[in-house]
Structure 1
């Protein structure tokens, strides 16, 4: 997978997680909190992790590290 595609996928994970958290915010209830915590937060963290790994690989390929 190319670097650009990995960054796009990472952005989609972060966006999906933030949208889950946003929609859970409008219907604030205990269930919405659980959905936000169990689904939204892991999606955001997965996107951040994928982005960080991709940036690390790019820097290693360019011998910047």
Structure 2
């Protein structure tokens, strides 16, 4: 899988997580807080981690690290 594709996938994870969090904060109830914390936050974290790993690999390939 190419680096650009991995970065797009990471962006989609972050976007999906932010949309879940936005929806949860519009209708704030105890259940939406659970959705915010159990679905939204992990999606954002997965996107950030995937992006960081991709950047790390690109830097290692270019011998910048």
Global fold match (TM > 0.5): yes
Could you state the TM-score of these two structures normalised by the residue count of structure 2? 0.99
How many correspondences in the alignment?
65
Mapped to 2, the partners of 1:26 and 1:46 lie a distance apart of 23
Secondary structure of the 1:19 match is helix
Post-superposition shift, 1:34?
0.1
Q: Which runs of 4 or more aligned residues in structure 1 lie more than 6 Å from their structure 2 counterparts after TM superposition?
A: none
RMSD of aligned alpha carbons: 0.2
Matching residue of 1:6: 6
List runs of 5+ in structure 1 lacking aligned partners.
Answer: none
